[in-house]
Structure 1
Amino acid sequence: MKSLSLVALFIITSTIAYSQHGSVKGRVTSNSVAISHISIQLSNTRYGTLTNEQGFYELANIPAGNHNIIFSGVGYTRQQLQVEVKADNTTSLNVQLKENPSNLNEVVVTGASRATEVRKSPIPVAVMTKKMMDQNVNNNLIDAIVKGVPGVSAVTTGPNVSKPFIRGLGYNRVLTLYDGLRQEGQQWGDEHGIEIDQYGVARAEVVKGPASLTYGSDALAGVINMIPAVPAYDNHKLSGDATVDYHTNNGMVGTSLGLGYRANDWKYTFRGTAKQAYSYSNKIDGTVYGTAFKEYNLSAAARVDKNWGYSKIAATLYDNRQEIPDGSRDSLSRRFTRQVLDQGDDIKNRPIVPEDELKTYAINPLHQRIQHYRLYSSSEVKLGGGNIDVLLGAQQSIRREYNHPTLPQQAGLYVILNTFSYDVKYNLPTLAGFENTVGIGGMYQSNRSKNGTDFPIPDYNLFDVGGYFFTKRSVGKLDISGGLRLDNRSIHWNDFFVGTNPLTGFGQHITNGNTTGAYLQFPRFDHYYQGFSGSLGLTYNLTEKLLIKANIARGYRAPNITEIGSNGLDPGAHIVYLGNRNFKPEFNTQLDLGLMAWLQNLDLSIELFNNQIQNYIYQARVTDASGNPVVIVPGNLTYQYQQSKARLYGAEVSLNIHPEGIKWLIFNNSLACTQGLNKNTGLIVKYGDAAKYLPFIPPLHIRSGVKLTAQNNYHCLSKPYFKFDADINAAQNHFYALDNTESYTAGYTLINAGIGITIQRKSGKSICDIFLQVDNLFDVTYQSNLNRLKYFEYYAASPNGRMGIYNMGRNVSLKIIVPF
């Protein structure tokens, strides 16, 4: 009876505590000018908002008491103010921010249990805001992130297909998130990008390394979290933005409309986007046939904020028709040719593509279609001095590749991937200065082949679960954080038989039990993987403006489906993949050291890393005893997955100069260097330097840019700017050369330029933002070493001495954004 009384007393006390709430609102300005999209965050929580176009904000339903509120934004000095919130009252708090180009005080949520400043996190983390993305020419979202975050690169297959790599590691080693939910869409494939609307992302947070314990397997290299854009809501008023984006090189036209509406505690958002482009061009190849695309995106969300916390439900739809280049050409003219036959096709004797089919928005019959649907909910329930976060999501990825010219409606590859994700965590009340979090998360996944003719991977079921503990504490000048995680994954598939369709002559999956004359392409498989990971990091504030960081982490990644199960042609990649059922999970140990300083006239960031990987999995071309390439499917390469030890090490350095006495000048510089060593001693002893290095390692990369910004407004023009930058890529002679898997890549320098103008009313409200930018100003011909089209070549020699396909030439972009 006494116990029941105590429980009742606790419930009544908690209820009373929950009912005591107030709000804070005000306006944020700089030099008496309103600032939009400034982040206002309640310290050590995920509760926050943004300023609207007039600089106004409101934090509602805050528990009564004293709170620290953080005001931060790129280009402004962070402020932390203490405010007393009284029950059932609104506290007014206006803030003046000082201009400062540094973003080291940015608040991030990725890789940490609670909102954390970049400066306090020992984990290497970088932020890319929408403003930064808008000031570059971007064909896709990953392209935008690569240009702004040192250490991030991308394997590309044309302008709309980019796979993110962090410090030389990619595919399933980089975990991509959308609004905190892991993105699941056949990440192992080369020939399609990330299924996310580039115009609907407000910021990207990048964690470099395996220290993100809240996410489990597949974050071995790091995490990229794309956080969707939301308008600065005004109560009972429709707001939003409209974007138009045009690129001259491939005629890309992008249009996007975002809407937001608030009705007291409820907030609603919607966005629709359409992009289309014809094939891109350069001076060497002319128009590169087979690189056109059409992409459509829809997203919607509803969120309610109450005294007990918040709840949000959201949905997205992605539909992309992407052409599939194969690189076939006429041997003398080097003009592109196209496949017109299935049986009897001679790659070196195909008809030349007519001129009127090179620059057309119509998608050719040989293309792929990627559809991705996502429905998810996130909620936060306040519990005493802590809170419970629940994230649930369902995704479906439909991937079809049409590669039969005589039967264009017949998909060669047709797979449907269904994923159900869950993540529940409890942020405990602060105890003796420690902020503790416990959680559990994972997913259930099923992949099914439909009416296709090629089957690179089997149908499979996967179940994943992991539990973790994370803690952080500040002791004087020292910030400490770390935790532990245990992951478990089971994967299963049944016997998978493939026969011949008597009507078409193509392959088909045998599902009726009659396996006479069929081939057992994927024998039954059952396996269980387990991995332990952990992280410990320190940040020491030598002074308010100088700090050092150190973090050591152990990561885990279970082999993906193509690494263990593949045994067939991926028609879009033009590669026959061969997996290995005996692979072990990858484990790595990464040490990060960092130094950060932001002084009156400059910011400096130095990050060093050393990454030792056990059971590293990579692709290698298959050759016979004579050293000749093994051809299983004519016209397609054959790759076998390998496993060995590996080491990656390197550094990223950023030096941003912003002289206090020359406020209109900013001089930003960054350097990223990654070395990848193959520790397979048997191969190195036998083949020497050809097997010494890892594949897909980016070369030394330097980006240096000057930005000149007017310090005054000129009538309706608000602080116009001009920028000029050099993108310098060194030659890559440290590559995996065994069996001609990779080749030497020459260095190159690209010069880019741009101007930006905001047109505003007398009230200070923005009418529109205009960005005119040019990439590759001098139309340099180059091949990135991470460009897969570089290897799309069918001849041993070329009349012009140029082999493979080159990257995009000069590209001018005009982007207009109209907020309302």
Structure 2
Amino acid sequence: MNPFKYLLCLSLIVFLSGLANAQVGILKGRVTSATEAKENISVKILGLNKSVKTNQIGQYTFEQIPVGNYEVVFSAIGYQSKKERVTIDKDDQLLDIEILLSESSLNDVVITGVNRATELRKSPVPIAVLSQKIMNQSVSTNLIDAIVKGIPGVSAVTTGPNVSKPFIRGLGYNRVLTLYDGLRQEGQQWGDEHGIEVDEYGIARAEVVKGPASLTYGSDALAGVINMIPYNPNFDDGKLKGDFTLNYQSNNGMAGSSLGLAYIKNDWKYTFRATGKAAHNYYNKVDGYVYGTGFREYNLSASARIDKKWGFSKTALTYYDNLMEIPDGSRDSLSRRFTRQIFDNGDDIKNRPIVPEDELKSYTLNPLHQHIQHYRFYNSSQFKLGNSDLNVLIGAQQSVRREYNHPTVPAQAGLYVVLNTLNYDLKYNLPDFAGIESTFGVNGMFQSNRSKAATDFPIPDYDLFDIGAFYFAKKSLGKVDISGGIRIDRRNINWNNFYVGTNAQTGFGQQVTANTPGAELQFPSFNKNYYGLSGSVGLTYNLSEKLLIKANLARGYRAPNITEIGSNGLDPGAHIVYLGNRTFKPEFNLQQDLGIIAYLKDADISIEVFNNSIQNYIYQSRLTDAAGNPVVIVPGNLTYQYQQAKARLYGAELSINLHPSQLKWLTFNNSLAYVVGLNKDESLLNQHGQDAKYLPFIPPLQIRSEIKLTAQTTKGTFDKPYIKFDAVFSADQNRFYALDDTESFTAGYGLLNAGLGSGIRSKSGKTILDIFIQCDNIFNTAYQSNLNRLKYFEYYNSSPNGRSGIYNMGRNISFKAIIPF
């Protein structure tokens, strides 16, 4: 090549490179709050879809930014979002800012129910957030109980203190999708008699979507979503931090302890937690100690996360092990003292022996109990692809459930099922186009359930494959934020012929092959696909920074679960024989939500109303014969048959939280939740009238009030001590499903609670201890919640004291201490 031409080309390249370099610049800076550097603050340049997070010393950097004028947004959970204008030229541009703690939750960033992390104020879907701090200040024996006490519109069906199934606005079971760190929880949640397999001490935050969330998650989110988010460490590099929690509750002697550790080194974050809890039977003044409600629970969890310029990857595993007794409510007819089963064949409920007093307060579990184990392993990763990113979540779960109901052979499980699930979830956040943020996603699961060495078989061995795809978009137009999308789902459920027979040696049932003498076909083969089309559209109108109006219209979808279509047998832990219907169609609902939220100088006010119409609603109804007598297939156990009909639910939630600006130490929080559930089966209504008018398991009107006094400064060694009084008022539930005595009237009640707590500081000013003391049901009120399944554990038509069923827990004092280190 001619040397002159070579030099000319080289000069041209250098010139063009310099010209290119002259057209881009660098933006960097530092984020602080109250003079402290803040890590993990999101920094986004609007219009470029470029975002980074601050490092451990609060610094951030953008490189290769085209010259021009931009708006930069700084945001994080618990802080007020801040927007700054900046001009980028060929020189480095420095932008240091200070962000302030948020006085309201409107600016909280949430990750549940939307395509990517977004501010609460921008979401038209009703979403509530509960922090670990608030959960620590309540008495609970499981996480769902803590959420129920903190979020209006959320309730729970309970079977003793350790079993709570979440309901949102009157809908529960498979209609509420529970997530752990974004991974859907699969643990045979269709059952009544065991709860959510999550360590309550390991959850740093809970986010609740109230309303159909099928758009993002597909089936099983008809009522909403509860996302339980574990702790994510955020402190200086090279340090090991942790906490040790001790908790004791007086009513059932519940003793719990939990050790958590976290370590950060370079780009890696590690966590570990181990928890143990044990309790004997709980107490109330009507029943005394309720036999069969003791439990023991153990949890282990660990995670490792790496953050790089290309994104992040987190791998985690959890182990849950719960042994809990099975209550059945059998008693002596005169003394009303609890009795226990000691025979299999020849058992006479009316002649069972009375449980000795010393056993009622023993931590030793009785032979009739459940053993539930849950294993979870998953990886969540994000890959940054220029102005877009790909999010991948892969998880494997195994749920092992054994119910021991044979007193003569305690080691023989009545129910023994193993559920294996592989979850997959891919979301691609597209580059912003014309101010539109959009996401395309595909998610679903593979699932198989197998019975092992059992004697009772309420459901068949089945396989399930689930897949769905969705598109979601949102855009801000001045004061209006608009979002919505569409989704399509397909679910296949199938099983082969399932035969049962009798074990000649034990007399118990067993699974057999088709050619075994005496074999009975309990579950004929089944193969069916279910399809669902769902979507939503909504908007938030920002009248001002402090006043918003939200409206949302959503269509949800839910495929029938395995018990609803396939059950045909006794579930020992529930003491119920379930009968399903394989002709059931998927549920579809259309829900309208309207909300007004105001964050004023001295008060936060919100009102949310909803109307929910459901096609093909599935519910349980007690089975009776032509004469109206209860059908008894297995002696001592109720028989329920699933039904399907149109339904409508409507209601409202109101919150008025007062925080006078001149009295910063005072808060007065009030909430009201109201829902009505109507059965719209015209033929049933024409035949049975009022008895069939309402849906089962609908919570009554409930009002909660809390007055709290919190010191704004440190008082000696006490760091911002507080004292609070709160009350719960539950109205009569006279709107119940009375057909065939499925439900009965539930009287209203009022409970008064009180608590206090404080951080304890050393002389150097470091917090060395957090203490919380709480007393629930101060006056030891005897009451029954209409969502308490034990209310219906009764063997007699009448009793000497005029009481029927089992009552809820009496007075309970909780002592909790958290030692950070």
TM range (shorter): over 0.9
Residues 62 and 85, structure 1, Cα contact 8 Å, conserved in 2? no
Alignment match, 1:476: 478
Residues 48 and 59, structure 1, Cα contact 8 Å, conserved in 2? no
* CA gap 1:238/1:93 in 2 versus in 1, 3 angstroms: farther
* CA gap 1:148/1:238 in 2 versus in 1, 3 angstroms: same
* CA gap 1:42/1:728 in 2 versus in 1, 3 angstroms: farther
* CA gap 1:57/1:47 in 2 versus in 1, 3 angstroms: farther
Alignment match, 1:138: 140
What does 1:645-684 correspond to in 2, within 5 Å?
645-684=646-685
Alignment match, 2:404: 402
TM-score, reference length from structure 1: 0.93
Deviation at 1:516, TM superposition (A): 2.2
Residues 426 and 442, structure 2, Cα contact 8 Å, conserved in 1? yes
Q: Distance in 2 between matches of 1:280 and 1:35?
A: 48
Summarize deviations over 1:686-721 as a string: whole Å, max 9, x none: 111100000010000100110111122112211111
User: Structure 2: 5+ residue runs without aligned partners?
Assistant: 1-16
* CA gap 1:680/1:35 in 2 versus in 1, 3 angstroms: farther
User: Structure 1: 5+ residue runs without aligned partners?
Assistant: 1-11
Alignment match, 1:727: 728
Summarize deviations over 1:88-119 as a string: whole Å, max 9, x none: 9998956363573x323221110001111111
Alignment match, 1:7: none
| Residue number among 390, 393, 396 corresponding to 2:395 in the alignment | 393
Tell me the amino acid that sits aligned with residue 262 of structure 1. Answer: I
Matched, 1:97 2:109: no
| Other structure's SS at 2:419 match | strand
Tell me the amino acid that sits aligned with residue 97 of structure 1. Answer: L
Deviation at 1:768, TM superposition (A): 1.4
Alignment match, 1:700: 701
| Other structure's SS at 2:492 match | strand
Residues 80 and 99, structure 2, Cα contact 8 Å, conserved in 1? no
Alignment match, 1:506: 508
| Other structure's SS at 2:715 match | coil
| Residue number among 145, 149, 158 corresponding to 2:151 in the alignment | 149
Matched, 1:181 2:186: no
Q: Distance in 1 between matches of 2:314 and 2:199?
A: 19
| Residue number among 432, 441, 447 corresponding to 1:445 in the alignment | 447
| Other structure's SS at 2:215 match | coil
| Other structure's SS at 1:199 match | helix
Q: Distance in 2 between matches of 1:35 and 1:689?
A: 63
| Other structure's SS at 1:543 match | coil
Alignment match, 1:280: 282
Alignment match, 1:800: 801
Q: Distance in 1 between matches of 2:354 and 2:782?
A: 23
| Other structure's SS at 2:593 match | strand
Q: Distance in 2 between matches of 1:215 and 1:801?
A: 47
What does 1:221-620 correspond to in 2, within 5 Å?
221-511=223-513, 513-620=514-621
Summarize deviations over 1:46-65 as a string: whole Å, max 9, x none: 988899xxxx7646687675
Summarize deviations over 1:586-607 as a string: whole Å, max 9, x none: 0000000000000101011110
Residues 76 and 108, structure 2, Cα contact 8 Å, conserved in 1? no
TM-score, reference length from structure 2: 0.93
| Other structure's SS at 1:310 match | strand
Tell me the amino acid that sits aligned with residue 493 of structure 1. Answer: W
* CA gap 1:344/1:603 in 2 versus in 1, 3 angstroms: same
Residues 222 and 556, structure 2, Cα contact 8 Å, conserved in 1? yes
Residues 606 and 653, structure 1, Cα contact 8 Å, conserved in 2? yes
| Other structure's SS at 2:779 match | coil
Tell me the amino acid that sits aligned with residue 73 of structure 2. Answer: N
Tell me the amino acid that sits aligned with residue 184 of structure 1. Answer: E
Matched, 1:196 2:201: no
User: Looking at CA atoms only, which structure, 1 or 2, has the larger radius of gyration?
Assistant: 2
| Residue number among 112, 115, 124 corresponding to 1:113 in the alignment | 115
* CA gap 1:267/1:497 in 2 versus in 1, 3 angstroms: same
Q: Distance in 1 between matches of 2:37 and 2:790?
A: 44
Tell me the amino acid that sits aligned with residue 131 of structure 1. Answer: K
Alignment match, 2:222: 220
Matched, 1:68 2:73: yes
Tell me the amino acid that sits aligned with residue 28 of structure 1. Answer: S
Residues 26 and 93, structure 2, Cα contact 8 Å, conserved in 1? no
Summarize deviations over 1:760-812 as a string: whole Å, max 9, x none: 24554321111011111111110000000000000010100111000000000
Q: Distance in 2 between matches of 1:386 and 1:273?
A: 39
Q: Distance in 2 between matches of 1:214 and 1:760?
A: 45
Summarize deviations over 1:243-289 as a string: whole Å, max 9, x none: 11110001111111111111101111111111111110000000001
Tell me the amino acid that sits aligned with residue 660 of structure 1. Answer: S
Tell me the amino acid that sits aligned with residue 189 of structure 2. Answer: Q
Q: Distance in 2 between matches of 1:374 and 1:90?
A: 46
Alignment match, 1:5: none
What does 1:744-783 correspond to in 2, within 5 Å?
744-761=745-762, 764-783=765-784
Residues 31 and 37, structure 2, Cα contact 8 Å, conserved in 1? no
| Other structure's SS at 2:41 match | strand
Residues 497 and 519, structure 1, Cα contact 8 Å, conserved in 2? yes
Deviation at 1:356, TM superposition (A): 1.1
* CA gap 1:708/1:784 in 2 versus in 1, 3 angstroms: same
| Other structure's SS at 1:214 match | helix
Residues 231 and 259, structure 1, Cα contact 8 Å, conserved in 2? no
